């Protein structure tokens, strides 16, 4: 009987020990000497974004594989909501933050918050200005040079047999389906894709430019309306990302047009769906927006910040290269 009571008592003590650990998450977030590296708070502008879904899955996997606890939250494309999420992470005492801002224009207030809380922070995907970032030296941006992706899109068109001038009238007539124009990726891809053509001495004609907000359905609708309005005049469909390009492709096919024969179509990201379409000749090309490479770099920079590294003003943007994807090299990306 005494043995049973002793066993029961020790079982109760073990259970109390576990309950105690689970009951103090705020302290645990700081990380302890027992091998627990603490919690990293990850804010994503919205989960319902094809590219950011791949990106956040990569981030979560890499952080967990390195022994961090990870808390990933959905900003639902609402900056106020994201601000509250950042406040909550700060109150919980997370070790570091990785933030994909909802609005680049909100960077000042985000930077203010993390600076006051003295939390090492990596911003991703939506790049603030160098001046905004210079306010806090434990802050770094990891992303890509958006101008490069635009230039590559233009070059994909320049690499076609007729350099985009399908009807031979001496100019390239295009429609531009833009991401959220508040975002520098949307602004620079729009500008530099066309600039690449102009720099090569090609005359261009913009038939339409519309915001599709990175969204497949909007890409499909815009392309559908433009195809109905401009018909064969459209030689090139530039999309700021692949999700909108996949949408546009549905409309192109529904209108009886054939990519690479009577119309060209380019995107950015190299989503799996787009790689399949490039392989089958249904997209002229895309540009790899390296989600895994950026996630890896973001975690690397976060660990450097945790190790005490600070960033000088003007050196707070770390870029991962974009890569052109065509039917010739598409296999390398699958
Ligand atoms: C990607 C888009 C994505 C956007 C989100 C861009 O870099 O190309 O697909 O929707 O980031 O901010």
**Pocket flag, ligand 1, residue 173 (CB < 6 Å):** no
* pLDDT computed for residue 28 by the predictor: 46
Please determine, for residue 3, whether its predicted confidence score (pLDDT) is greater than 60.
no
Burial of 296 (0-12, 13-18, 19+ CB in 10 A): middle
Rounded to the nearest 10 degrees, the angle between the axes of helix 50-65 and helix 291-306 is: 40
Decide if pLDDT at 17 tops 60: no
56: left (phi over 0), alpha (psi -120 to 50) or beta: alpha
- Rounded to an integer, what distance in angstroms lies between the CA atom of residue 119 and that of residue 43? 14
**Does the C-beta of 56 come closer than 6 Å to ligand 1?**
no
Residue 137 placed within a domain: yes
pLDDT bin (cut points 50, 70, 90) of residue 29 is low
CATH number of 53's domain: 3.40.50.2300
* Distance in Å, CA 52 to ligand 1 centroid: 7
Ligand 1 pocket, mutate which of 44, 45, 48, 52 (most atoms under 8 A from CB): 52
What is the pLDDT at residue 2? 44
For residues 155 and 248, state if they share a domain.
yes
* 171 and 268 inside one domain: yes
Within a domain: 244: yes
Structure tokens at 329: 């090299």
24 pLDDT exceeds 80? no
The whole-number pLDDT of residue 20 equals 33
Residues 154 and 265 in one domain: yes
Of all atoms in ligand 1, which is nearest to the CA of residue 268? 8
Residue 33 forms part of a structural domain: no
Query: Do the domain assignments include residue 28?
Result: no
Residue 66 belongs to what domain range? 39-144+291-320
- Whether 51 is in the pocket of ligand 1, judged by its Cβ within 6 Å, is yes
Q: How far is CA 201 from CA 164, 198, 260, in A?
A: 13, 5, 22
Whether residues 191 and 273 share a domain: the answer is yes
Identify whether residues 113 and 183 lie together within a single domain.
Answer: no
- The token pair at 69 is 């606890």
> Do the domain assignments include residue 328?
no
Shared domain check, 236 and 109: no
Ligand 1 mutation target, pool 51, 192, 295, most atoms within 8 A of CB: 51
97, 86 in Cβ contact below 8 A?
Answer: yes
Q: Round the CA-based radius of gyration of the chain to a whole number and report it.
A: 24
Residues 114 and 159 in one domain: no
Q: How confident is the model at residue 36 (pLDDT cuts 50, 70, 90)?
A: confident
Residues 191 and 263 placed together within one structural domain of the fold = yes
Shared-domain flag, residues 184 and 223: yes
Tell whether the model's pLDDT for residue 173 goes beyond 50: yes
**Among 288, 308, 328, which residue terminates a domain?**
288
Find out whether the beta carbon of 286 lies less than 6 Å from any atom of ligand 1.
Answer: no
pLDDT digits (tens, 9 = 90+) for 248-284: 999 999 999 999 999 999 999 999 999 999 999 999 9
| Assigned domain for 236 exists | yes
- Same domain membership, residue 255 and residue 173: yes
Per the CB < 8 A criterion, the answer to whether 265 and 242 are in contact is no
Residues 328 and 326: their CA atoms lie apart, in Å, by: 5
130 and 182 in a single domain? The answer is no
Give the Å distances, CA to CA, from 313 to 11, 122, 126, 133: 56, 15, 18, 7
Q: Tell whether the model's pLDDT for residue 21 goes beyond 50.
A: no
The DSSP line for 160-221 is STTTT-TT-SSEEEEEEEE--TTSHHHHHHHHHHHHHHHHTT-EEEEEEEEE-TT-HHHHHH
Any domain includes 18: no
Number of domains in the chain: 2
pLDDT per residue over 93-122, tens digit each? 999 999 999 999 999 999 999 999 999 999
Tokens of 27: 């302290």
Q: Which residues contact 267 (CB under 8 A, 6 or more apart)?
A: 153, 239, 240, 241, 242, 243, 244, 245, 246, 274, 283, 286, 287
Does position 15 have pLDDT exceeding 50, yes or no? no
Q: Is the minimum distance from the CB of 71 to ligand 1 under 6 angstroms?
A: no
Residue 14 reports pLDDT greater than 60: no
Q: Is residue 57 part of a domain?
A: yes
- 225 shares a domain with 193: yes
- Residue 99: partners with Cβ closer than 8 Å, 6 or more residues away: 42, 43, 82, 86, 110, 114, 121, 122, 123, 124
Spacing, Cα 213 to ligand 1 middle (Å): 9
Candidate from 76, 214, 245 with most ligand 1 atoms within 8 A of CB, to mutate: 214
Mean confidence (pLDDT) of the chain: 92
165 contacts: CB under 8 Å, gap ≥ 6:
171, 172, 202, 235
* pLDDT single digits (tens) 64-99: 999 999 999 999 999 999 999 999 999 999 999 999
């Amino acid at each position: 009987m005494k043995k049973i009571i002793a066993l029961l008592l020790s079982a109760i003590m073990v259970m109390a020990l576990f309950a105690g650990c689970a009951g103090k998450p705020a302290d645990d977030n700081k990380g302890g000497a027992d091998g627990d590296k603490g919690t990293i708070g990850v804010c994503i502008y919205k989960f319902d974004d094809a590219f950011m879904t791949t990106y956040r899955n990569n981030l979560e996997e890499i952080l967990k594989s390195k022994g961090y606890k990870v808390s990933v939250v959905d900003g639902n494309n609402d900056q106020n909501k994201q601000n509250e999420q950042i406040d909550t992470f700060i109150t919980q005492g997370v070790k570091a933050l990785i933030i994909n801002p909802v609005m680049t224009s909100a960077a000042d207030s985000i930077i203010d918050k993390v600076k006051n809380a003295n939390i090492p922070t990596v911003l991703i995907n939506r790049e603030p200005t160098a001046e905004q970032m210079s306010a806090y030296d434990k802050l770094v941006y990891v992303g890509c040079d958006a101008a490069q992706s635009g230039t590559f899109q233009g070059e994909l068109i320049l690499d076609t047999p007729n350099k985009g001038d399908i009807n031979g009238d001496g100019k390239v007539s295009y429609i531009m389906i833009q991401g959220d124009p508040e975002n520098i990726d949307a602004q620079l891809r729009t500008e530099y894709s066309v600039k690449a053509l102009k720099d090569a001495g090609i005359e261009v004609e913009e038939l339409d430019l519309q915001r599709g907000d990175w969204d497949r359905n909007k890409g499909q609708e815009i392309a559908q309306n433009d195809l109905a309005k401009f018909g064969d005049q459209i030689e090139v469909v530039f999309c700021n990302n692949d999700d909108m390009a996949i949408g546009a492709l549905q409309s192109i096919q529904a209108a009886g047009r054939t990519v690479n024969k009577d119309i060209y179509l380019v995107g950015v990201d190299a989503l799996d769906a787009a790689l399949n379409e490039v392989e089958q000749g249904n997209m002229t090309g895309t540009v790899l927006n390296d989600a895994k490479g950026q996630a890896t770099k973001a975690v690397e920079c976060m660990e450097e910040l945790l190790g005490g590294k600070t960033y000088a003003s003007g050196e707070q943007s770390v870029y991962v290269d974009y890569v052109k994807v065509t039917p010739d090299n598409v296999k390398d990306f699958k």
